[in-house]
């Protein structure tokens, strides 16, 4: 037997062992397992490599991440323990009907998402990149102590260069600047972009950097978008850094609608906590371990900060005294999908309406079942997806799910352009906004962050935004699917097979 035949035989043996593992030991749902078995059957050796890279069962976390998470979570553990012990009293105090009605969701996010309930936050929404970047850049320029940023994508374009110029200026003034970006999300962004910031004393790091030696983290990316300024002001949501988010990219012939959040108040501490975990997981400075640092120093109790009048905010105004929880999820805890499960819980509590905006729509079976049950129960379930998609294969994979849910009474709308916002609103009372798309990748494979808001006033604001976006959309009808050719339907169903991997 030649060496070639020996290697080939070993490869097929490994392929057979992988199929046996999937049949008897894989704990994911049957659809997920069948997809991998199908791939292993059609592409025996390639399928093994794809399973290791993309299944979510290997190389999803590091020891440094585990230690950093433990240190950060311990900082808030007593607060959560006290709140959970007193939650029944808080719910029955009569201070807030919202907290009383949704106490089960709050408790779930405390136990499962390890997130305390934090009140008295001020919240402001940005619907376009133009608004967000104008306000964000102005606030960064007024920073006194620190600027922490984490983005999935930063492009080497005018918007990206402008941000780096501002950060470099602040770093040269002595402000601590830390910039974390995802290596795969920004794969085509040259390190040269960050040279001015690094020369000025800023620190830059990549999340789960890829290499030929260790390519196995390619599928587990940091999709969060976090900015914390002086520990007192935070930004998060759907927008990365690039001209396309600000509708400055002439190569795109459609309007880009998005949603981003700016908060002040106690909840900023959770954004800071998550940034620190991600930063000290990723930095190559071995002496900078979060478990060795006084984490309390990153959470100032009070500090002077700019007034709203100094920042060019959009005219819609902010909502004050908002109670909220910030929940994170990721493949480092591959048995749990904290954000998805909290969304499902929200849907099951709906009495009148469920409104969703998402740029991609290939949700797993449990999420679809929640929507199906809500629609069949008479709940008004409406979902806005893009009319023009930035990823053609995601559109093809989404269509079978749209058709299926429409048959149960869910109404879908195609936005006249590309809508990148990620929002779920229940009864115009509670809502969640963040980085999580309604797809399996966000639910199970990406590191994500969402805030859950408990406020009538803010819920009505989110519902109003949904209706405004719906007015700029066209409803999807049964004729759209009936008129589709056999070839197009076949293409939809083919790409649906790979939806769990998208």
Query: What is residue 431's three-state secondary structure?
Result: strand
Which is it for the CA torsion 219, 55, 424, 235, positive or negative? negative
Question: What does the alpha-carbon distance between residue 222 and residue 204 come to, in Å, rounded to a whole number?
Answer: 15
Strand partners, 412: 383
- SS3 string, 85-103, reads HHHHHHHCCCCCHHHHHCH
Give me the helices (H) in 308-384, please: 338-348, 365-376
Whole-angstrom distance, CA of residue 453 vs CA of residue 432? 6
* DSSP secondary structure letter of residue 241: B
Q: Report the C-alpha dihedral over residues 227, 233, 238, 240, rounded to 10 degrees.
A: -30
Q: Between the CA atoms of 485, 490, 491 and 496, what dihedral angle is there, to the nearest 10 degrees?
A: 130
Q: How far apart are CA 362 and CA 498, in angstroms?
A: 10
Helices (H), 329-477: 338-348, 365-376, 392-406, 440, 456-471
Catalytic positions, please?
223, 225, 230, 420, 422, 427
DSSP strands (E only) in 379-447:
380-386, 411-415, 418-419, 423-426, 430-434, 438-439
Q: Are 308 and 439 in contact (CB under 8 A)?
A: no
Widest distance between CA atoms in the chain: 80
Strands 380-386 and 411-415: parallel
Q: How far apart are the C-alpha atoms of 430 and 352, rounded to whole Å?
A: 12
The values of phi and psi at residue 17, to 5°, are -65, -35
């Amino acid at each position: 037997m030649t060496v070639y035949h020996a290697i080939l035989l070993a490869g097929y043996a490994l392929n057979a062992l992988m199929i046996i593992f999937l049949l008897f030991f894989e704990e994911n749902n049957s659809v997920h397992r069948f997809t991998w078995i199908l791939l292993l059957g059609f592409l025996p050796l390639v399928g093994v490599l794809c399973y290791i890279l993309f299944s979510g069962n290997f190389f999803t976390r590091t020891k440094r991440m585990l230690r950093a998470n433990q240190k950060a979570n311990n900082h808030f553990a007593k607060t959560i323990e006290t709140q959970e012990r007193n939650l029944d009293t808080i719910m029955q105090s009569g201070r807030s009907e919202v907290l009383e009605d949704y106490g089960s969701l709050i408790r779930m996010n405390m136990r499962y998402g390890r997130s305390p309930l934090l009140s008295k936050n001020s919240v402001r929404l940005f619907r376009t990149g133009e608004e967000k970047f104008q306000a964000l850049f102005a606030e960064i320029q007024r920073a006194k102590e620190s600027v922490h940023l984490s983005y999935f994508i930063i492009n080497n374009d005018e918007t990206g260069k402008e941000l780096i110029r501002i950060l470099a200026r602040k770093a040269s003034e002595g402000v601590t600047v830390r910039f974390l970006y995802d290596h795969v999300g920004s794969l085509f962004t040259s390190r040269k972009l960050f040279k001015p910031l690094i020369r000025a004393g800023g620190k830059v790091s990549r999340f789960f950097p890829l290499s030929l030696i260790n390519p196995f983290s390619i599928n587990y990316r940091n999709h969060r978008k976090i900015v914390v300024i002086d520990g007192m002001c935070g930004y998060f949501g759907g927008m990365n850094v690039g001209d396309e988010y600000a509708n400055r990219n002439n190569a795109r012939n459609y309007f880009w609608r998005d949603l981003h959040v700016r908060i002040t108040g106690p909840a900023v501490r959770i954004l800071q906590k998550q940034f620190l975990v991600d930063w000290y997981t990723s930095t190559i400075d071995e002496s900078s371990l979060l478990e060795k640092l006084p984490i309390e120093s990153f959470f100032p109790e009070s500090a002077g900060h700019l007034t709203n009048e100094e920042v060019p905010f959009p005219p819609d105004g902010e909502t004050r005294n908002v109670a909220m929880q910030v929940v994170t999820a990721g493949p480092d805890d591959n048995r749990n999908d904290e954000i998805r499960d909290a969304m499902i819980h929200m849907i099951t509590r709906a009495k009148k309406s469920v409104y969703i905006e998402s740029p991609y729509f290939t949700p797993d079976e449990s999420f679809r079942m929640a929507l199906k049950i809500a629609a069949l129960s008479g709940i008004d379930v409406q979902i806005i997806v893009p009319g023009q998609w930035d990823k053609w294969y995601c559109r093809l994979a989404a269509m079978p799910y749209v058709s299926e849910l429409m048959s149960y009474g869910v109404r879908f709308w195609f936005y006249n352009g590309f809508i990148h916002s990620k929002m779920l609103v229940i009864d115009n009372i509670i809502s969640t906004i963040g980085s999580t798309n309604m797809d399996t990748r966000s639910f199970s494979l990406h590191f994500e962050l969402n805030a859950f808001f408990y406020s009538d006033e803010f819920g009505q604001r989110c519902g109003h935004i949904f209706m405004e976006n719906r007015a700029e959309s066209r409803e999807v009808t049964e004729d759209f699917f009936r008129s589709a050719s056999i070839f197009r339907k076949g293409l939809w169903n083919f790409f649906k097979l790979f939806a769990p991997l998208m």
